[in-house]
Amino acid sequence: MPAQIQSFLDAASKTYTYVVYEQDGGQCAVVDPVLDYDPASGRSGTAQADRVIAFVREHRLTVQWLLETHAHADHLSAAPYLRRELGGKIAIGESIGQVQNVFKALFNLEPQFAVDGSQFDHQFAPDESFLIGNLKATALHVPGHTPADMAYLIDGDMILVGDTLFMPDVGTARCDFPGGDAHQLYTSIRKLLAFPAGVRLFVCHDYPPQGREPQCMSTVGEQRQYNIHVRDGIDETSFVAMRTQRDKTLGMPTLLLPAIQVNVRAGHLPPAEGNGVTYLKIPINQL
């Protein structure tokens, strides 16, 4: 049977979480799950993740994978909560160690914090094949936004592109975070746009212009024809110049500091201190 996909939009972070499965009663993958977090109070919640749990249970699915496209800077991952409630392996690309190394230094994380990706249950090598039940999947390494970004090709028909591409009228991901590279992003995007025109591309975020409702899916053909940053005819030099200049105008994501500290730990919170309380750090004048 063809792959089925259900999207869940977190309006606060503009993030799409996906459940990919073959049929009711089978196995599934959950992609980019969101943990609620209020930066004003420092309180977390599970309302978004509980929507996913309800769907999985309603359709009698068994969670096989909890897939992260990268270490997100705009939301905290709910992967550990979902693993506790539903099972499954938390997985990310094997270049995550490069990201961990940068942010261990920035946040002065505890000496025992490993920068080898061992906090995750599985690290995908580029082009590694895996299964979601009977669905064939491939982990595509698409660096540029971060060194560890992955896209997931499912059943030859759909790709969950993470933060490489947005909807055609929004463009592409920023490249000014540590380890980002606009040249690499261009190469990664052309890799995705080399797939057949009818392949569906599911984005991790949508920031719709005024008058359009949020959307999560386009096709390779639509991106090649209409993407405002990287449609056919825009060469690498032009893209890098545009992306570099545009990134200089962008503010930091609201949840970057709390999100990165958690997400490089595969969604786990930092160890509690002697008083039993967990703390997140705010480095001053570093970003």
One-letter-per-residue 3-state SS of 85-142: HHCCEEEEECCHHHHHHHHHHHHCCCCCCCCCCCCCCEEECCCEEEEECCEEEEEEEC
Using pLDDT thresholds of 50, 70 and 90, give the confidence band for residue 152. Answer: very high
Average pLDDT of the chain to the nearest whole number: 97
66-70, 136-140, 174-178: which has the minimum mean pLDDT?
A: 174-178
pLDDT number for residue 1: 78
Q: What does the domain layout of the chain look like in residue ranges?
A: 4-262
pLDDT number for residue 282: 94
Match domain 4-262 to its CATH number in 3.60.15.10, 3.30.365.10, 3.30.70.2860, 3.40.50.720: 3.60.15.10
- pLDDT tens string 43-68: 999 999 999 999 999 999 999 999 99
Q: State the burial class of residue 112 (Cβ atoms within 10 Å of its Cβ: 0-12, 13-18, 19+).
A: exposed
Bridge partners for 137 per DSSP? 130, 154
* Opening angle at CA 74, ends 100 and 187, nearest 5: 70
Using pLDDT thresholds of 50, 70 and 90, give the confidence band for residue 248. Answer: very high
Q: Which residues contact 279 (CB under 8 A, 6 or more apart)?
A: 270, 273
Q: Are 49 and 33 in contact (CB under 8 A)?
A: yes
pLDDT number for residue 286: 87
